[in-house]
Structure formats: C-alpha cells, structure tokens
C-alpha cells in the first residue's frame, strides 16, 4: 500500500504480525475495552499490518467476541486467534475467526524440558502428539495455521527439529519459534533458525516466524537476526507493550528496515507515516505512557536540545537525523491553536494530528478545547492530544465526573465534594481523607462501591509551565486483572478524579464482558 512497498517489490517480503491486542493486552494494566480493541484493530488494518492477532478466544467471552468482531470488520489483514493445543480451545478459536475474509488459528505449546515437565507435566511424546492433534483439528477450520514452540530458545535442538517437522506434516503453514523469556542473543537466534531450516526436511513448506520478548533489551535486534536466519514473519507490538519488559516494538522494526534497507533488504507493507498515530492510540487506550526517549515514537525522538546538535541541524537536518519526523507521521505544527480558534480550525488541527473523530466526539472535544483555551494561554498539540485521547477513551462511560470542590491546605482534614453522573443519575458525596486525592478517591468509593484495589497513582505535566495540563494515571486491580485509567485537566485534582473514574469504567466494562480473571498466555 505504501510507496516503499512498490519500490521494494524485488526484495523478500517480511510479514508483520501484530500482537498488540493479544500479547500486548495481557500485560498488567494494559487491558483494553471491546470498543478500544476495535479501534486499534481498524488502525492496524488500514496501516498495512499483514496479520493481526486479535485475542485469545478461549480466555473469556469478551475475548471471543472481540476476535469475532475484528474478524468481521477487517478489510485487509489476516485475523489470527491464539489457542492452546486442547481441542476445545481450537474449536472456540475456529468459531471466533470464522467471520474473517482470511482467518488464522495460532496454536502453541511449550517445548523446552523445563516447561514440559514443570508447567505442563507432559512427556515430549505427549507434547508431540498434542501438536499433531491440534494442528490437524485447526486445519479443519482454516488452511492458515500457525504453530508456536513456546520457550523455543531453551528447547533441545533434536526435539525441536522433530516437532517442527511433525507440525508442518500435520498442516502448519507458519512455524513460530519464540524467545518467550527474552533470553537469547542475536547470533544464537539467527543460528537457531538456520539450523532448524536446514535440518527439517519439509521446512520449505512453512514460513518461519520470530517472536521476541525484551527482558534483556534485545527483542528488536533478535527479531532482525531471526530474519537474517531465514524467518519471514515478525511478531511485534505497538510501543513494544507486552508481558514483563514487553515484545519487540513494531515501529522500531519497521523503521529499521526502512532506514537501513542497504543491510536489511526486505519489503514490509506497513505505511510508516501512520506509526506515530498508532503509538498515540495504543498509549491512550492502554494508558501506558510512552517513554520520552523511546526510539521512533518517544516525545524526544526528534528533539534536538544541545547547542552543538541544533547548530548542525540548522545547516542540514542530515547532520543528526537518520529519518525525518514526517516519515513516521510527526508533522511540523502548522496551525497554532488558542481561544480564538474556531471549529473548522480545530477540525483541521485534528486531521493534521491524525485523528478522525465522528461528529459527536468532535463536538465534545471542541467544547473541552474551548474550555481549556479559556484557562491556558497557549494550547499545544500535546494538550489537544491529551484531551482528545481522554474523550475517545471515555466516550461510552457509564460513570462521569460532573463537579468537584476540594478543600486542601495545611489545616486538615482535607475534603472533597464530588458529583458523579451514574447512568444518567447525578449523585453527590462529601468525603474527607489523608490529603485531597485521598478525599476524592474516598468520595468515588462511597458513590460507586467496589472492591478493586489501587495499584498506582501517577501524575505528569503534559507540557511545561504552571498552567500545564496534568495527566493522571490510576491503575486498579480486581480478581487478578489490572486496568489503567487516565484523566487530563489543568486542575490536577479534577484530572485525578477523572482518572479514577476512567479506571472504574474499564473494570465495569470488562466485568460485563466476562473479562475479569481471564486466562493469559505468555
């Protein structure tokens, strides 16, 4: 779809398999609601991701429904569902991907001695038979079946070759050899693919895939090394979110291949100018902030602060820039927004920033922008992004913050009078606490009784200046499942109330969809 694609059509195609909605979503606090998952999937589909792993259908009814709905909506990508090797899991996954134009069942089982004996309590022969049965069953639903050897990088080579051969013979069309625990190194991972491909007699009948976790910070380097070893599919996530230290980051892989085509001669179909938008959307819906110095999409990725660098940049951007901000969708600000800006300019600004809001969401966001512009001299792009992201995430919330008055200061007890709209019903409660934030949260607890525990409360300023908006993150946990809510406002206490309520809304949505306490894969 992109111009790069047509220019590189003589190069080997490497498929991008995005697992933000599965491996990414299952890390603590990154839970997304059904609507958020659809929004992320739509964006991934339109940016040219080849395969979207939409979820783990046997994990919960909520996961099943979102995989099925994403399968129904996808226009371009293959939609994959994850499944253990149990036949009931495979059947559930097969049903979930049925509506897809092109659907894939991705089944996995551990193959390392440690995992087989300690985690599964199975012998290698049982694991082998389970693989054959699962792949055979999966092929009765689709001819696109991926099989993964969980903990492949700690698996004995003889057994690996035997089981890979058996999986391909049973009908697997993609073989994924994950570095589940983020333990391997580039040389080792490359050699593993070279050896397996050379030793397995039917290896030419399947596409090999890399899947790397980032525990030692080598996930992207390892993924590219696996490709050098012959893999032609890379599994990755937007912003690198995922279990523990995360997965290989999609934007880093795509831009490494695009920028270093001289040594990475592969064709990738992802439209790079949509990377920044994807990063922002995933950060907003998961409430996982992107590290400032994160490659490609971090706030500082294209900022040049030191005098020497600025001097060079003024003469030629090539002195310190190996790729342009525009190539990843970071546009130079052309419209400066303030309290005199009208609706048309606001709509134009959102378009420039990559947002595509429906009429109702646009009206709500514009109202909040006007309110902000009245209180803040300069409204930066970051301010607009914070309030629009807030609007997108809270659009269908059952509980909303209506009003808040706080008494704070040296003479306690601090207190908060909070009014919430709960399913259209306005209720007010006054509470005290050990500080104003505690008082607000106590008021929320009184108005919406719940058993979730507070795991994290975090504040950061969206921009500089004392009139900057505060962006607050609140993580709540219930039944072993964590969700994060975010709120933005120039008043830190209002932002805190919004963030807590946003997290509660997410918990409520997940409860309703049977998500709490759901299963996880690695």
Contact residues: ligand KIV, CB under 6 A: 23, 108, 148, 150, 176, 178, 180, 211, 213, 521-522
H helix or E strand, kind and range, residue 485: strand 481-489
Identity of the residue, 108 or 208, whose beta carbon is nearer to ligand KIV in the bound complex: 108
Identity of the residue, 4 or 249, whose beta carbon is nearer to Zn ion in the bound complex: 249
CB of 424 to Zn ion, least distance (A): 42
* Contact track, Zn ion, 130-149, x by CB under 5 A: --------------------
Q: Which tokens in the block code for residue 376?
A: 């803040």
Given 17, 18, 23, 67, the residue binding Zn ion (CB under 5 A): 23
Compute how many residues bind Zn ion; rule: CB under 5 A. 1
CB of 110 to ligand KIV, least distance (A): 8
CB 53 within 8 A of CB 71: no
361 CB-side CA count, 13 A: 16
* 292 exposure class (CB count in 10 Å sphere: 0-12, 13-18, 19+): exposed
With CB under 5 to 8 Å by kind, the binding choice for 33 among Zn ion, ligand KIV, none is: none
Identity of the residue, 23 or 471, whose beta carbon is nearer to Zn ion in the bound complex: 23
Identity of the residue, 148 or 510, whose beta carbon is nearer to Zn ion in the bound complex: 148
Beta bridge partners of 428: 419
Among residues 1, 75, 64, 76, the alpha carbon closest in space to that of 37 is found at 64
CB of 178 to ligand KIV, least distance (A): 4
- Any idea how long the chain is? 522
CB of 26 to Zn ion, least distance (A): 9
d(CA 176, CA 260): 25
Only one of the segments 23-31, 84-92, 390-398, 424-432 lies at the binding site for Zn ion (rule: CB under 5 A); that segment is 23-31
d(CA 99, CA 468): 46
CB of 180 to ligand KIV, least distance (A): 4
CB 336 within 8 A of CB 345: no
| Chain centroid to CA 115 | 27
d(CA 382, CA 82): 36
Among residues 350, 290, 291, 253, the alpha carbon closest in space to that of 49 is found at 253
CB 80 within 8 A of CB 97: yes
Q: Which tokens in the block code for residue 354?
A: 């990559």
Among residues 350, 32, 85, the alpha carbon closest in space to that of 93 is found at 85
CB 27 within 8 A of CB 15: no
d(CA 450, CA 46): 39
Identity of the residue, 213 or 280, whose beta carbon is nearer to Zn ion in the bound complex: 213
Identity of the residue, 60 or 180, whose beta carbon is nearer to ligand KIV in the bound complex: 180
Only one of the segments 20-28, 290-298, 416-424, 436-444 lies at the binding site for Zn ion (rule: CB under 5 A); that segment is 20-28
With CB under 5 to 8 Å by kind, the binding choice for 521 among Zn ion, ligand KIV, none is: ligand KIV
Only one of the segments 19-27, 253-261, 297-305, 459-467 lies at the binding site for Zn ion (rule: CB under 5 A); that segment is 19-27
With CB under 5 to 8 Å by kind, the binding choice for 239 among ligand KIV, Zn ion, none is: none
CB of 337 to Zn ion, least distance (A): 41
CB of 522 to ligand KIV, least distance (A): 4
Q: Which tokens in the block code for residue 419?
A: 């009014």
Identity of the residue, 105 or 353, whose beta carbon is nearer to ligand KIV in the bound complex: 105
Residue with tokens 């902000």: 372
With CB under 5 to 8 Å by kind, the binding choice for 108 among ligand KIV, Zn ion, none is: ligand KIV
Identity of the residue, 23 or 25, whose beta carbon is nearer to Zn ion in the bound complex: 23
Q: Is 150 in the site for Zn ion (CB under 5 A)?
A: no
CB of 167 to ligand KIV, least distance (A): 13
CB 77 within 8 A of CB 46: no
Beta bridge partners of 52: 18, 79
CB of 215 to ligand KIV, least distance (A): 11
Q: Which residues bind Zn ion (CB under 5 A)?
A: 23
């Amino acid at each position: 779809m992109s111009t790069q694609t047509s220019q590189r059509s003589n190069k080997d195609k490497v498929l991008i398999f995005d697992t933000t909605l599965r491996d990414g979503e299952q890390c603590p606090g990154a839970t997304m609601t059904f609507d958020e998952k659809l929004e992320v999937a739509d964006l991934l589909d339109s940016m040219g991701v080849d395969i979207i792993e939409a979820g783990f259908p046997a994990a919960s009814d909520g996961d099943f429904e979102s995989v099925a709905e994403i399968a129904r909506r996808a226009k371009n990508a293959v939609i994959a569902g994850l499944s253990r090797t149990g036949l009931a899991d495979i059947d559930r996954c097969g049903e979930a991907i049925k509506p897809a134009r092109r659907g894939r069942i991705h089944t996995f089982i551990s193959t390392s001695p440690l995992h087989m004996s300690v985690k599964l309590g199975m012998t290698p022969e049982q694991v082998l038979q389970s693989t054959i049965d699962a792949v055979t069953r999966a092929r009765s639903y689709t001819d696109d079946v991926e099989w993964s050897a969980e903990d492949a990088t700690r698996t004995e080579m003889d057994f690996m070759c035997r089981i890979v051969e058996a999986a391909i013979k049973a009908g697997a069309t993609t073989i994924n050899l994950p570095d589940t625990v983020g333990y391997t190194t580039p040389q080792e991972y490359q050699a593993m693919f070279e050896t397996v491909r050379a030793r397995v007699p039917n290896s030419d009948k399947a596409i090999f895939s890399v899947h790397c976790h980032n525990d030692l910070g080598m996930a992207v380097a390892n993924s590219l090394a696996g490709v050098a070893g012959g893999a032609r599919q890379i599994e990755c996530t937007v912003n690198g979110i995922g279990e523990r230290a995360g997965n290989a980051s999609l934007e880093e892989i795509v831009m490494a291949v695009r920028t270093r085509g001289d040594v990475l001669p592969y064709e990738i179909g992802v439209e790079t100018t949509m990377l920044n938008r994807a990063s922002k959307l995933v950060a907003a819906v998961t409430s996982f902030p992107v590290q400032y110095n994160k490659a490609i999409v971090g706030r500082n990725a294209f900022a040049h602060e030191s005098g020497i660098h600025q001097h060079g940049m003024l003469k030629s951007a090539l002195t310190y820039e190996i790729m342009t901000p525009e190539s990843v969708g970071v546009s130079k600000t052309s419209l400066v927004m303030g309290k005199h800006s009208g609706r048309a300019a606001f709509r134009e600004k959102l378009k420039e920033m990559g947002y595509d809001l429906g009429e109702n969401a646009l009206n709500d966001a514009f109202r909040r922008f006007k309110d902000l512009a009245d209180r803040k001299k300069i409204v930066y792009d970051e301010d607009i992004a914070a309030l629009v992201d807030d609007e997108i995430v809270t659009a269908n919330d059952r509980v909303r913050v209506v009003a808040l008055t706080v008494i704070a200061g040296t003479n306690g007890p601090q207190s908060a009078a909070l009014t919430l709209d709960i399913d259209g019903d306005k209720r007010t409660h006054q509470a005290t606490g050990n500080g104003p934030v505690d008082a607000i949260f106590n008021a929320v607890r009184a108005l919406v009784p719940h058993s979730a525990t507070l795991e994290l409360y975090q504040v950061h300023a969206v921009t500089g200046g004392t009139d900057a908006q505060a962006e607050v993150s609140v993580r709540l946990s219930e039944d072993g499942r964590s969700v994060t809510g975010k709120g933005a406002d120039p008043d830190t206490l209002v932002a805190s109330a919004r963030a807590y309520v946003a997290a509660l809304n997410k918990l409520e949505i997940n409860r309703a969809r049977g998500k709490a306490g759901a299963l996880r894969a690695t």
